[in-house]
Amino acid sequence: MRQNKSNRYMPLLMALCVVVGILIGTFYANHFSGNRLNIINSGSNRLNNLLHIINDQYVDAVNIDSLVDKAIPQILADLDPHSTYISAKDVQRATDELKGSFSGVGIEFVIRNDTIRVQGVIKNGPAERAGILAGDKIVSLDGKPFVGKSVTNEEAMYRLKGPKDTKVKIGVLRYREKKQRYFTVTRGDIPQKSVNAAYMLDDKTGYIRIKSFGDNTYPELLIALAQLSQEGFGNLVIDLRDNTGGYLQSAIQIANEFLPAKRLIVYTEGRRSPRKDYPSDGHGSYQDIPLVILINESSASAAEILAGAMQDNDRATIVGRRSFGKGLVQQQMSFNDGSMIRLTVARYYTPSGRCIQKPYVPGAEHGYEDDLMERYTHGEFFSQDSIKHTGPAYHTVIGRTVYGGGGITPDIFVPEDTTNVTSYYKEAAMSGMILQFAFTYTDDNRLKLNNFTEMMELSDYLVKQNTVEKFASFADKNGLQRRNLMIRKSHNLLERYINSRIIYNIMDEEAWIKYINMDDKVIDTALDVFRRNAAFPKKPTPANKGKKGKVALLHGTDRIPSPTGTEMIRHEILQKA
């Protein structure tokens, strides 16, 4: 009886609840409508609701997606210098840099006078199979002109790269021809090498240059080591100068090749990321080979992990200048629209416990970016005594003193050489005039230059051609006034820069590296380390324990923020598509 009575009143109670709910909702909607934003009571709600309010009530139509693309980078910049946002259109290019390959036509190019110039053609790639040659000027794509101000690296990449097996019609002007040639190129997988040189410096010393740490860096290194083994190497130089990093795992795999079992390589730790150790497993095949690692101020991230692991384990001698100082670990996270963020989730620490991240103020991007220029102005590139360590002292396995808080300080410091630098040389290099001349000279003499297959033969030939004099005449006609006294003083620098670019244009990156390494005092210092049997660091004696490393009275050839001297030779990087 009681249950039937309750059932009878249930519809009435439900109706009453609905009415009360509507009244409450109406009250709050009226109370907080208009310009009052009281409903936004937390950070995430504020941002979300702000976008809704702008979209709904702003005086003009607003592209919300574009607004978000502008807002997210600013939010991330206020966290740290390495948390970044990558828009959907830029994701492919950002990820291609560290992948082992990408899909494209297979050319290296530069843009000169608003026109794409084919600098090199990837061997056995789609462009080579179609008939495109180095020196060709690309003037149309898919039947439409592609010259003028619209020709940028970004636009060229967008049009030349694309899904595998898709086609692009390329129109080119060949040297001394006025009529376009057309080639239909079927895009394919283009290898992306991160080990871009492996050769013998002398009868006993192998050299490997790693320019980044990507998917295939470790297998590429093993191939390079196998190649050098066939040539009988007994010492090894690994060049990490200008290597800005990449994948943590690649650096760990490489370090493992050179360390005995149970040696800590690196560890990571963050607020929501518990400490994770990465030890060596003892399976490396090169645990006993004398090793020197080269670094400079542009060596960062994964490059610093490798150098730091070798230094803290007393496994190698580090030569060069203090590295960049990036000790933050980013995790990649994607959004539904294809864009992504790289968010700092942890710090990494070298085996001794030091974090080598240089100091930064959240949101103060310019101060962080200006750090290298401040190092240069302060004199750090010329004197080891000018290095300012902001972190505490730590100790390696055998007790050597090392420092955190701002990069890896080398065991042997090699200052920069500015002896023969003149204002003429600086302007010639930094204006791009040398690069323009080298390309023009290559184009005008390509038939003759193509006959050379060995770097040294081509180098000897170019010395006899007096390229410095030819450049001075070319530059004078193009706005750089001839200064004979300065040209004589900087003659060797000019010759090396000019001839290095011509060698690059005709041959490949390895030939170019071999050439610029011939007169590189950092390389000379590394070879001297092996001659002195000093590749394995020695335990410090009480007399010198805690002192800074020995200063080598030699000069390097690295790229620096305000280039001076021979480091300008490393200045231009070609685009690949």
Q: Give per-residue pLDDT as tens, 145-195.
A: 999 888 888 888 888 988 899 999 999 998 778 899 999 999 998 888 899
- Per-residue confidence (pLDDT) for residue 94, from 0 to 100: 77
Could you tell me if 313 and 258 are in contact, meaning their C-beta atoms sit under 8 angstroms apart? no
Residue 326 is a catalytic residue: yes
Q: Residue 295: helix, strand or coil by DSSP? A: strand
Q: What is the C-alpha separation between 82 and 347, in angstroms, rounded?
A: 12
Q: Give me the chain's average pLDDT, please.
A: 84
Q: Which of 529 and 331 is assigned the larger pLDDT? A: 529
Can you spell out the DSSP letters for 231-268? Answer: TT--EEEEE-TT---B-HHHHHHHHHTTS-TT-EEEEE
Question: In sequence order, what are the residues at sequence separation of 6 or more whose Cβ sits closer than 8 angstroms to the Cβ of residue 64?
Answer: 51, 54, 55
Whole-angstrom distance, CA of residue 299 vs CA of residue 84: 20
User: Which range is least confidently modeled, 43-47, 72-76, 474-478?
Assistant: 43-47
Tell me the residue ranges of DSSP E strands in 388-520.
393-395, 401-403, 412-413
Q: How far apart are CA 113 and CA 332, in angstroms?
A: 37
Choose the catalytic residue: 136, 239, 242, 312: 312
Task: Say what the pTM is.
Answer: 0.81
For residue 191, give the amino acid letter: P
Tell me the range of 158-162, 207-211, 338-342 where mean pLDDT is highest: 207-211
Q: What is the pLDDT of residue 440?
A: 87
Residue type at 333? M
Which candidate in 301, 323, 352, 459 is catalytic?
Answer: 301
Contact 264, 305 (CB under 8 A): no
pLDDT band at 236 (very low <50, low <70, confident <90, very high): very high
Say what the pLDDT of residue 430 is.
83
pLDDT at 34: 46
CA dihedral 542, 543, 547, 549 (to 10 degrees): -100
What pLDDT sits at residue 175?
A: 72
CA separation for the pair 321, 375 (Å, rounded): 11
pLDDT tens digit sequence for 29-41: 554 444 444 444 4
Amino acid 38: pLDDT: 46
User: Is pLDDT above 60 for 43?
Assistant: no
Which pair of structure tokens corresponds to residue 166? Answer: 């898709």
**Vertex 499: Cα angle to 496 and 501 (nearest 5):** 105
Q: Estimate to the nearest angstrom the gap between the alpha carbon of 204 and the chain centroid.
A: 30
Burial class for 528, CB neighbours closer than 10 Å (0-12, 13-18, 19+): middle
From CA 342, how far away is CA 329, in angstroms rounded?
Answer: 9
Percent of the chain with pLDDT over 90: 51
Q: According to the model, what pLDDT value does residue 16 have?
A: 56
How many secondary structure helices (H) and strands (E) does the chain include?
A: 20, 22
Q: pLDDT category, 467, cuts 50, 70, 90? A: very high
For residues 40 and 449, the model is more confident at 449
- pLDDT of 25 > 90? The answer is no
Q: What integer pLDDT is reported at residue 559 of this predicted model? A: 32
Poorest-confidence range of 232-241, 339-348, 384-393? 384-393
User: pLDDT class for 234, splitting at 50, 70, 90?
Assistant: very high
Q: What is the pLDDT of residue 554?
A: 34
Q: Which of 326, 358, 426, 576 is catalytic?
A: 326
pLDDT tens-digit map of 104-156: 999 888 887 788 988 778 878 899 899 998 878 899 999 999 998 888 888 88
The residue among 470, 492, 480 whose CA lies nearest residue 433 is 480
At 302 the pLDDT is 96
For residues 323 and 402, the answer to whether their CB atoms sit within 8 Å is no
User: Nearest Cα to 536, choosing from 320, 307, 315, 351?
Assistant: 315
d(CA 114, CA 149): 6
Q: What is the pLDDT of residue 374?
A: 64
pLDDT (average), residues 73-96: 85
User: For 273, phi and psi rounded to 5 degrees?
Assistant: -120, 100
In 324-471, where do the E strands start and end? 328-334, 340-349, 393-395, 401-403, 412-413
More confident residue, 376 or 497: 497
Which pLDDT belongs to residue 252?
A: 97
> Is 301 part of the annotated catalytic residue set?
yes
- Over residues 210-236, the mean pLDDT reads 96
Go through the chain and tell me how many residues it has: 577
83 annotated active-site = no
- Averaged pLDDT for residues 293-300: 94
Contacts of 167 by beta carbon, 8 Å cutoff, 6+ apart: 184, 185, 186, 187
Mapping DSSP onto H, E and C, the string for 33-66 reads CCCCCCCCCCHHHHHHHHHHHHHHHCCCCCCHHH
| Lowest mean pLDDT across 307-311, 338-342, 359-363, 454-458 | 359-363
Separation of alpha carbons 15 and 13, rounded Å: 5
Where is average pLDDT lowest: 16-20, 235-239, 247-251?
16-20
The residue among 173 and 239 whose pLDDT is bigger is 239
